[in-house]
Amino acid sequence: MARKQRRYPPEFRREIVGLVRSGRSPEALAREFEPSASAIRKWVKQADLDEGRRNDGLTTFERQELRQARREIKRLRMERDILKKAAAWFARESDSIPSKDSSS
């Protein structure tokens, strides 16, 4: 069974990142504290991206923007599909109803 990911508060992450930057290894910190060494390395990388120390990935702000854009695209596609189906339904309905101005 997969292990549930634990969310760590931003203050805790900042402290761990500070300890890594002061010379402590992620492996030693992983033994002392609960997060894995790979998680600590990811936190350091993300902090470096956010602070402009590196540019080989997305900042936290860019990740949030991307997530929001993807959510909006998904919503718009659903709305488009609903409108497309509604238009097709109304087109079928209008073909089956005789027009009112037909002479009989």
pLDDT in tens, the chain (104 residues): 566 778 899 999 999 999 999 999 999 999 999 899 999 999 999 999 999 999 999 999 999 999 999 999 999 999 999 999 999 999 988 876 555 665 55
Helix locations, 10-59, DSSP H: 10-21, 26-32, 37-50
In a domain, 51, yes or no: yes
In a domain, 53, yes or no: yes
In a domain, 102, yes or no: no
Say yes or no: 67 and 53 in one domain: no
Residue ranges making up the domain that contains 76: 60-95
